[in-house]
């Protein structure tokens, strides 16, 4: 494993609605193991403190889909599927919350990988 990866990525278990400090990280991948068949929606909010949560209006937060803001929906996933959702955190405030909703969110588990640290180790 390259040292650049070890020093520039942080991976953690994640619970829906939990506030994370993204200081120094410019992107993330949210991995969700789907608990129930149905739709899965991810809503991103951000703020200057871990209790603040304002809507994200950036159209590039979900770079693969170019949604009209901080909400992304996958219409049909099956229980047991693992879904990886790419997030561009550039331009968001220091604290970010990802909230899972929809039928597929029930009994789901998630992990969050923060990457693209803005200060690279030498």
User: What is the band of 121 on the pLDDT scale with cuts at 50, 70, 90?
Assistant: low
Closest CA to 47 of 66, 67, 86, 21: 21
Q: Quick one: average pLDDT of 54-82?
A: 87
Domain count, the chain: 1
Does some domain include residue 113? yes
Q: How far is Cα 66 from Cα 37, in angstroms, rounded to an integer?
A: 25
Does some domain include residue 122? no
pLDDT number for residue 51: 81
Does some domain include residue 64? yes
**What secondary structure letter does DSSP report for 114?**
E
Q: How far is Cα 55 from Cα 78, in angstroms, rounded to an integer?
A: 28
* More confident call, 31 vs 51: 31
Question: pLDDT digits over 84-107, tens only?
Answer: 999 999 989 999 999 999 999 999
Tokens of 94: 């220091």
Does some domain include residue 69? yes
Residue with tokens 């929809």: 102
pLDDT number for residue 20: 94
8 forms bridges with which residues in the sheet?
none
CATH number at residue 16: 2.60.40
Instruction: State which residues form the domain around 27.
Output: 3-117
């Amino acid at each position: 494993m390259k040292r650049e990866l070890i020093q520039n990525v942080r991976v953690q278990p994640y619970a829906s609605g939990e506030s994370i400090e993204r200081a120094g990280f410019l992107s993330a991948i949210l991995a969700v193991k789907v608990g129930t068949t149905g739709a899965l929606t991810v809503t991103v909010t951000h703020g200057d403190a871990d209790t603040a949560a304002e809507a994200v209006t950036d159209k590039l937060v979900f770079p693969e889909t170019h949604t009209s803001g901080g909400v992304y929906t996958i219409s049909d996933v099956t229980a047991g599927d693992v879904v990886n959702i790419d997030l561009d955190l550039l331009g968001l405030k220091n604290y970010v919350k990802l909230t899972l909703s929809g039928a597929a969110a029930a009994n789901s588990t998630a992990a969050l990988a923060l990457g693209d640290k803005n200060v690279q180790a030498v």
